[in-house]
Structure 1
Amino acid sequence: MQSVQKMSLPMLTAMVVGSMVGAGIFSLPRTFGAATGPVGALIAWGIAGGGMYMLARVFQSLAERKPDLDAGVFAYAKAGFGDYPGFLSAFGYWIGSCIGNVSYWVLIKATLGAFFPVFGDGNTVVAIVVASIGIWLFHFLILRGVKNAAFVNSIVTVTKIVPIVVFILILAFAFKAGLFRENFWGGVGMPQTSLFEQVRATMLVTVFVFLGIEGASVYSRYAQERSHVGTATIIGFIGVTGLMVLVTLLPYAVLPRAEIAEMRQPSMAAVLEAVVGHWGAVFVSIGLLISVLGAYLAWSLIAAEVLFVAAKNEDMPRVFATENKNQVPAAALWLTNIIVQLFVISTYWSQNAFDLMLSLTSAMALIPYLLVAAFGLQLAQRRVTYELRPQERTRDLVFAAIASAYTLFMIFAGGVKFLVLSALLYAPGTLLYIWARREQGRRVFGPVDWGLLAVAVIAALYGVYSLFTGAITI
């Protein structure tokens, strides 16, 4: 039997950075420019950075205090709140990862569309065919071995940071203090909206760019040392947050906000082109392609791992707990990429596929994140595991309380639309849970579970009605 493959601290950190630095960072200038000026951006990053830091600290604490829960996101939900909430967390995180992978392919083709019109905005027939080829090339790369794919991710992570750093350095050198002051409170020619609404408009994108903060936690069973999981999470979080804040704020110092708000995605390429010429767009576009492909690799690994571990813990059908000779969860990977393929095909009928996939990915991640934060809060309140280092309890209680409040606020900020669209996935996804429970000969639902299912089904039916009547558009 082969020995279990292990990841070092640098490789785990690369998983976090590789998961977080993907499509989102390259879309930040226009996304923020359309919503707010620098003051609103600073507030938004303060909320998002503070909230996500607290969540990162919860992940770090749980990794140390509950080392037996080595599946990360969904394992905490199951341990704290029961089998069906644990399943919903695993399913939501998994399907959200699949949707996020679709957004990567859309942005790749939209980037190429700036140079080759046949790709359009990433949802033409040619774009879908090329994306489909890419999906299955990555699929067979990963089937050759998780560690091989993780090593490739480590190399790609280093490579893709370079264009982002160059972008930051060039814009810092071109910084115009007068233009930054002019844009600071909103800029000229932009709609007058309240500061709260400006900040609220950025919330889902900040969730999207922070997705992956739990990358090391998901792969904790591969860590050489358990303590590396929390360390990798914090290192990755701090480094990537600094990059994202700079990428957001510096464009306000080189271009009017109204011009930034109208740029084509990926807007980082458009900003650099406006500053240094066409070569800037080419340079950033190449970096984006490397970055997004690297993030896609990381998230394919994470999505398959979540499905695999959920099946190993009997929360998904047992077929998804199988591995091939390279210790890769093959069945889980096949289902993941089939779902990604179907969503890629569906983008042909979407008017704004990238923004839709970005927001829906964020909405799907918030429920699992909330359950993680709530589990951390539960442990601290009940003093569970605090026989060791009891002095840390108050600190952990504060971290978990703030992380819980933050995720609840983000769910509110995302709006009813994406909660309803999430229910459209959660409700039918429950069929996998029923399948698994029937396999095991166990009772499917308890009283609380029936209530959760009822809420999901009612919200899903409302979503279907809203889509047909046009109350909700995609």
Structure 2
Amino acid sequence: MSTKEKKVGLLGLVALTVSSVVGGGVFNLMSDMAKSASAGPTTIALIISGIGMGIFVLCLQHFNEKLPELDAGIYSYAEAGMGSFVGFNSALGYWLSIFLGNVALGSLAFSALGYFFPIFGDGSNLASVIGASLLLWIMHFTILKGANFAANINGIITIAKLIPLAIFILTLIIAFDADLFSANFWGTVNNDFIWAEVGPQISKAMVSAVWVFVGVEGAVVYSARANNKQIVGRAIILSFVIITSIYLLATVSSFAVLTQPELANLDKPAMAFVMESVVGKWGAMLINAGVAISAIGCWFACTMFSGEILYQAAKDEVFPKFFLKENKYAAPTTALLVSNGLVQFFYLSLLINDRAYNFMALLASSTMLVPYFFVSLSYAKLSWKWDEKVSKNVFLGIISTIYMAYCMYASGYTYILVTTLLFAPGMLLYITARKQHNKQVFNKAEFIGAIFVIVGAVLSIYLMLNGTIDVTNM
């Protein structure tokens, strides 16, 4: 590794994680949740989701302590407990979700800028594609200057994106109307807690809450670039506390300034209209600027992650050697080029037909749950081995696994089934990597798993052709 590489400190890791998680979702979360839940069920859904992801975070923190030699842990932890093939699919699922999400973030950023500069329209016209493309490659060459330099730039962006959110939260706390907040708190006929009516609201709201926590493991992904492994665990916990606090305060307090129906019918970004209802036009301007900065910040952090995950996977011999090339600053040049080249391709495709990207992005949103599930399962398995009993750690691993399984179930079986269309051809990368290192491609269990993935892909194609699965309505 180059001696010119400068490592990332605690604040840099926290900024990377917060920036990669708090993207565009928080700015519309209050409206998304209000469509299916009132204030009480929304609060419970966020708390349950926070607890579920919090347990997952504790698993990651303990993994970091027990296996400090592992880098880019979101997939290497899955590999440690479940084998190379599971590790590969976890890495592939994570990378797919990250790089396709970057396309959406670029479009969102320029859509927000369109509020101030109408030339950018809805974020998918020619001006937006040109602007997003220029910004993409500015990010690319900035990241090539090394992890510490890029993390410092990201830290500045993170501070800039948190300022509008902080102003929004403080404004709503000051404007908090307790009577409005409690008027329809449970969303039931008599506003009493009736589980038969509250439960379905919580379940539906949780589906919206799941996705806004994606990326909370960011500090682990960049652990190889950290000053030391001890700060990674602290960065994970601190980031999670900041992220959860933002979501709870920004979302729940919105029910104290507008009614549930009003929140549910807001255009995007809903936070801008909530702020405007309290302070006037300048509030909408502030939040729209925040959306643009937040999307760009999240995009920048996730661009760093997209190259890092391919590079670390190649180091662990589950991706081809092709992705191992570095420059003098120890930046993963080929991995970044491939990731950003694909992002550029999808930007250009938006000008011709956005259906292909929309379909791929739909699949990618589900692929992130694959590594989360296998990391949780791996933690439960390895904790049993380490502790030799049903310990607290085993229990946490089981709870995290159940929670991730529920999230996959809640997203719908068609989403999970159709994601095999991404994993099946991806196996060619795994086969190439194994052969490059003269290793057995599949053991018996892995071969059976590969067959299931291929069968799932073939079944998905069949069900789409006969109309059973309608991808335009997923």
The aligned counterpart of 1:8 is 9
Partner SS state of residue 28, structure 2: helix
The aligned counterpart of 1:455 is 452
1:439 aligns with 2:436: yes
Which residues of 2 match residues 12-411 of structure 1 at below 5 A? 12-186=13-187, 194-347=197-350, 349-350=353-354, 357=361, 360-383=363-386, 394-411=391-408
Output the CA distance in 2 between the equivalents of 1:10 and 1:145: 17
Deviates more, 1:97-106 or 1:441-450: 441-450
Cα deviations by residue, 1:83-125 (Å, 9 ceiling, x for unpaired): 1111001111111111221221122133234445554433334
Output the CA distance in 2 between the equivalents of 1:174 and 1:99: 38
Q: Which amino acid aligns with 1:408?
A: A
Question: Aligned pair in 2 of structure 1 residues 197, 150: CA closer, same or farther (>3 Å)?
Answer: same
The aligned counterpart of 1:472 is 470
- 1:138 Cα deviation from its structure 2 partner: 1.2
Question: Aligned pair in 2 of structure 1 residues 227, 272: CA closer, same or farther (>3 Å)?
Answer: same
The answer (yes or no) to whether the contact 2:320–2:430 under 8 Å persists in 1 is yes
- 1:184 Cα deviation from its structure 2 partner: 1.8
Output the CA distance in 2 between the equivalents of 1:59 and 1:433: 25
User: TM-score w.r.t. structure 2 length?
Assistant: 0.91
Partner SS state of residue 391, structure 2: helix
The answer (yes or no) to whether the contact 1:88–1:426 under 8 Å persists in 2 is yes
Match of 1:424 among 421, 425, 450: 421
Runs (5+) with no aligned partner, structure 2: 190-195
The aligned counterpart of 2:192 is none
Cα deviations by residue, 1:282-314 (Å, 9 ceiling, x for unpaired): 101111211211111111111111100111111
The answer (yes or no) to whether the contact 2:94–2:367 under 8 Å persists in 1 is yes
For the aligned residue pairs, the C-alpha RMSD in angstroms reads: 2.4
Q: Which amino acid aligns with 2:470?
A: I
Partner SS state of residue 441, structure 2: coil
Output the CA distance in 2 between the equivalents of 1:119 and 1:194: 43
Partner SS state of residue 328, structure 2: coil
The answer (yes or no) to whether the contact 1:70–1:218 under 8 Å persists in 2 is yes
- 1:350 Cα deviation from its structure 2 partner: 4.3
User: TM-score w.r.t. structure 1 length?
Assistant: 0.91
Question: Aligned pair in 2 of structure 1 residues 352, 437: CA closer, same or farther (>3 Å)?
Answer: closer
- 1:273 Cα deviation from its structure 2 partner: 1.6
Runs (5+) with no aligned partner, structure 1: none
Cα deviations by residue, 1:118-176 (Å, 9 ceiling, x for unpaired): 54433334333322222222112112222111111112112211110100111111122
The answer (yes or no) to whether the contact 1:207–1:362 under 8 Å persists in 2 is no
The answer (yes or no) to whether the contact 2:115–2:288 under 8 Å persists in 1 is no
Output the CA distance in 2 between the equivalents of 1:365 and 1:452: 18
Output the CA distance in 2 between the equivalents of 1:402 and 1:434: 33
- 1:195 Cα deviation from its structure 2 partner: 3.7
The answer (yes or no) to whether the contact 2:97–2:364 under 8 Å persists in 1 is yes
Q: Which amino acid aligns with 1:7?
A: V
- 1:468 Cα deviation from its structure 2 partner: 4.1
Partner SS state of residue 35, structure 1: coil
Output the CA distance in 1 between the equivalents of 2:215 and 2:204: 21
